[in-house]
Amino acid sequence: MATKKPENMAFEAMVEELDDLVEQLENGDLSLDDALKKFERGIALARAGQVKLSDAEQKVSILLSKDDTAELQTFSDKHD
């Protein structure tokens, strides 16, 4: 099965996969190489999840802005 890039996954799918990875790592039945690969995948999922949460927070902040005189700004969902 091909593994999706974290940035192309739904947030909920990332959390579910991250939970599975944590469980596998906690069991301690993995070889060092497998554990490192799963850890690396977990870090990628966590970082992508943080980006998605930050984007959502920015959108909510824009929507809840009470300043009716503020200029409209284009929301950019691209990250460096």
pLDDT 10s digits, 49-66: 999 999 999 888 888 776
Please give the angle made by the CA atoms of 16, 22 and 27, to the nearest 5 degrees. 130
Query: Band of the pLDDT at 68, cuts 50, 70, 90?
Result: low
Token code pair at residue 9: 């996954």
Range(s) of the domain holding residue 15: 8-56
Q: Is residue 65 part of a domain?
A: no
Q: Is residue 41 part of a domain?
A: yes
Token code pair at residue 13: 């799918």
Token code pair at residue 64: 């809840």
Q: Is residue 42 part of a domain?
A: yes
Query: Band of the pLDDT at 79, cuts 50, 70, 90?
Result: low
Check whether 1 has a pLDDT greater than 80. no
Residue 6 DSSP one-character state: G
Burial of 40 (0-12, 13-18, 19+ CB in 10 A): exposed
Q: Is residue 70 part of a domain?
A: no
Q: What is the total count of domains within the chain?
A: 1
